[in-house]
């Protein structure tokens, strides 16, 4: 059985992987995302998109919902609402942890 995206003559499980895009393709995405990793792996130009700092649920604004999403993520809840963790990495240490959560809560309280 073949899928709609199959390339005739290719065996995806045994053939060497191939890039799905041509060399002049440009990938737009968020820093640290799978899009960036893919572009780097295949030597494709990557253009990072902007995001709102603290906007962990990626709805375009920083609100209490982002703090709740980060807290849920730290507690290991799969359905926390977290979409882009790097937006909530407030101390830029490459980890989302209680220190980031404290900073998010402080900024929310101060209206920053």
Find how far residue 31's CA is from the centre of its chain: 7
pLDDT for position 23 = 80
**Is the per-residue pLDDT at 42 higher than 50?**
yes
Residue 26 CA: distances (Å) to CA of 8, 40, 49, 87: 26, 11, 12, 23
Q: Is pLDDT larger for residue 52 or for residue 13?
A: 52
Q: Where are the alpha helices (DSSP H) in 15-57?
A: 34-42
pLDDT for position 49 = 87
Distance CA 62, CA 67 (A): 9
Residue-range domain boundaries for the chain: 22-51, 64-110
pLDDT for position 1 = 47
Average pLDDT, the chain: 88
Q: Are the beta carbons of 54 and 35 closer than 8 angstroms?
A: no
């Amino acid at each position: 059985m073949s899928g709609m995206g199959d390339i005739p003559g290719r065996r995806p499980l045994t053939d060497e992987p191939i890039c799905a895009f041509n060399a002049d393709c440009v990938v737009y995405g968020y820093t640290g995302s799978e899009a960036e990793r893919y572009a780097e792996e295949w030597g494709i130009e990557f253009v990072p998109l902007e995001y709102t700092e603290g906007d962990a649920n990626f709805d375009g604004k920083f609100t209490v919902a982002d703090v709740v999403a980060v807290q849920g993520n730290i507690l290991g809840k799969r359905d926390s609402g977290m979409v882009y963790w790097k937006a909530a990495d407030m101390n830029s240490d490459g980890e989302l942890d209680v220190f980031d959560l404290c900073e998010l809560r402080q900024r929310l309280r101060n209206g920053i």
